[in-house]
Amino acid sequence: FAASIISFNGPAGEAYIGKFIKGIKNTAKLKGYDIKVYENQFNQAEQDQQVQQVLAAGQLPDVFIWWPSDAVAGLGSLRALHKTGVPVLKINQLPNEQDKQYIFGYAGPDDRLRARNAGYMMREAAAAKKAAGGEGFNVLALSYPHSYGGYSLSINAFKEAIAGSDLKIIGDVDEGFGQANGYKGAAKMISKLKDQGIHFVYGMDDAILTGGIKALEEAGYKMGTDVIAVGTVCNGDKQLIEEGKQFGTTLQSPLHEGQLAIKMVEEYLSTGKLANYINFTPNPSVTKETIATTALRGFDGKLYSIEELCSGAW
C-alpha cells in the first residue's frame, strides 16, 4: 500500500456516517491506501477507549482521520493521537482554537455555510411570497439539542442570512435528533404557536424537518402553500421535495465528505502540508426544480447523482 490510514468515526448504523464510510473506503482503495475504520456508538467515552486500544496495539498508520463523537469532548483523545507523532486530519466537526495545535487540517462540512444557504433559500421564498401578495412570515425553527455544538453555529448563521427580511423566528424547539423527535417537537410548537401563525419552518437537518412536516400536515397545514419548509443536509425524505412539501434543502453529502478527507490526506502526504487549512464540502441548494438534475463531481472524478450523494431516505 502507498500509505496506511486509520479513521475514527461514528457507527455505520447512522445513515449519514454509513455513506461517509463508503466514500472514504472506496476513495482510499482507488488511491491505493490501506484504511481501517473504527466505529463508536455516538459515545465519546467509548471512542476514547478505542483510541487507547488502537494506540496500545502499537501499529501506527501514516495518517489519522479524526471525527470526534463530540467536537469538544474529543479533545483528550485528539491529544493522545497527536502525541504519537502521526499527523491528524480532523473531519466533520469544525476545529476550535484548542484543536489547532494538534491537527494539520480540516476537511468536512460547514454548519454555517449550510445554514446560511438555507436562510437565503427561505429568504427568496419569502420574497416570492410577498411579491405574490402573500402574508405572514413567522418562522419556526426545529433545532438540534441546544447542548450540541452545531446548534449555535447553525442558528446564528441562519439568523444572519434572514436578517433584514420579513422573516421572523417565533419559536425554536430542541426535542432532539431524528424524525421522531422532529415530529414531537413540532407537534408541541404547533399547539403553542397556532394562534400566531406558522408560515415558514427551518429544520436544522432534513431528518428533523421530515418529522416536523408530518406534524404540520397532521395539524391540517398544507405544506408548500400554508407553510414553506427549508432544511439542510439532505438526510430526510427526498420525496417531500419532489412533492413540493418541502421547499428545498442545502445538500451536504457524506460521500463527498469521505472523498474529501482522502483527498486532503493525499495532498498532505505528497506536499507535507495543505494548501488550505480548512476545506469545506460544497453545499448546493436543491429544490423541486433542481432535484432531478443536481449532480456533483466527486474527487475521484466521477459524477454522482443526488441519489448516491445523500443519506436518509433518498
Partner 1 sequence: MFEKTKKWLTGNPDLAFAMLLACCVYGYFAITNEYFMTGRTTFAIMERFAVLGLVGLALTLCIIAGEIDLSIGSNAALAAVIVVRFTDSLGAPTALLIAVLISTSIGIIQGYFIAYLRIRAIVLTVGTLMLLRGVALFVAEEKTVMLTDFRIPDFITTKYFYYFSPASILVILVFMLVGFFMSYTRYGREIYAIGGARKEALASGIDLKRPMIIVFAISGFCAGLGGVIIGLRSGTAQALGLQYLLLAGTVAAFIGGVSILGGRGGVIGAIIGTLTVNFLNTGLVFNVTPAFLVQLYLGILLVIVIMFQTGSRIFDQSQKRRQLLSDVDLRRLDLLSRKHKYQKPP
Partner 2 sequence: MSTGSSISGGSAKLNFLDKIIRDYSGLAIIMVAIFLFVFLYGMITAPNFLTIFNLKTIVRDAALVGIMAIGLTFVTLSGNFFLLSMKETAALCIIAFATGMSYGWGFELSFLFTMCFALVAGIFQGALIGLGGNPIVVTLGAAGVLYGLGAYWSDNLVVSYRRPHGAEWLGTGSFLGLPNITVAFILIAISAELVLRKTNFGRQVYLIGANRAAGKATGHENFSMAIKVCTIASVCSAFVAIAFSAQVSSAQVNYFSSEFGSSGDMTIMVIATVMVGGNSIMGGYGSTMRSSLGAIFISSIDNMMVLHGFNSGPRVFAVGLMIVFSIIVFALVRRGSRTEE
Kindly list the residues in this chain that would bind partner 1 in the complex (CB under 8 A). 11-13, 36-41, 43-46, 48-50, 52-59, 70-77, 79-80, 98, 145-147, 149
152 belongs to the binding site for partner 2 (CB under 8 A): no
What does the DSSP assignment read for 275-307?
Answer: SSSEEEPP--EEETTTTTT-EEE-TTS-EEEHH
| CA–CA distance, 85 with 78 (Å, rounded to integer) | 12
With binding defined as CB under 8 A, does residue 129 bind partner 2? Answer: no
- CA–CA separation, 94 vs 71, rounded Å? 7
* Contact flag: residue 168 with partner 2 (CB under 8 A): no
For position 83 contacting partner 2 by CB under 8 A, the verdict is: no
Which of partner 1, partner 2, none binds 37 (CB below 5-8 Å, type-dependent)?
partner 1
Cα within 13 Å of Cα(292), Cβ side: 5
**Selected range binding partner 2 among 99-107, 161-169, 178-186, 294-302, rule: CB under 8 A:** 178-186
Our finding on whether 291 is near partner 2 (CB under 8 A) is no
Residue 187 touches which of partner 1, partner 2, none (CB < 5 to 8 A by kind)? partner 2
**Binding-site member from 25, 79, 159, 184 for partner 2 (CB under 8 A):** 184
Which does residue 210 bind out of partner 2, partner 1, none, counting CB within 5 to 8 angstroms by kind?
partner 2
Query: Which of the listed partners (partner 2, partner 1, none) does 46 bind, with a CB threshold of 5 to 8 Å by partner kind?
Result: partner 1
Which residue, 130 or 192, is less far from partner 2 as judged by CB?
192
CB 169 within 8 A of CB 122: no
Q: Measuring CA to CA, which residue among 212, 82, 85 is closest to residue 139?
A: 212
- Angle separating helix axes 206-218 and 178-193, nearest 10 degrees: 50
**288 forms part of the interface with partner 2 (CB under 8 A):** no
Rg of the chain (C-alpha set): 20
DSSP lists the bridge partners of residue 35 as 5
Identify which of residues 1 and 163 has a Cβ nearer to partner 1 in the complex.
1
Q: Which does 32 bind (CB under 5 to 8 A by kind): partner 2, partner 1, none?
A: none
| Residues 202, 97, 24, 68, CA torsion sign | negative
- What single-letter amino acid sits at 206? D
Q: Judging by beta carbons within 10 Å of its beta carbon (0-12, 13-18, 19+), is residue 58 exposed, middle or buried?
A: exposed
Assign 63 to helix, strand or coil.
Answer: strand
What is the grid cell recorded at 113?
Answer: 455555510
Does 244 participate in binding partner 2 (rule CB under 8 A)?
no
CA 21 to chain centre: 15
| Number of residues engaging partner 2 in binding (CB under 8 A) | 43
Cβ proximity to partner 1, 57 vs 132, nearer residue:
57
231 touches, from partner 2, partner 1, none (C-beta below 5 to 8 Å by class): none
Per rule CB under 8 A, is residue 154 in the interface with partner 2?
no
H/E stretch holding 227 reads none
Tell me how far apart the alpha carbons of residues 124 and 106 are, in angstroms, rounded to a whole number: 31
Residue span 198-237 as binding mask against partner 2, x where in contact by CB under 8 A, dash where not: ------------xx--x--xxx-----------------x
Task: Give the nearest distance from C-beta 141 to partner 1 in angstroms.
Answer: 16
| 183 makes contact with partner 2 (CB under 8 A) | yes
Residues within the interface to partner 2 (CB under 8 A): 11-15, 18, 42, 145-147, 173-181, 183-185, 187-192, 194-195, 210-211, 214, 217-219, 237, 239, 243, 311-314
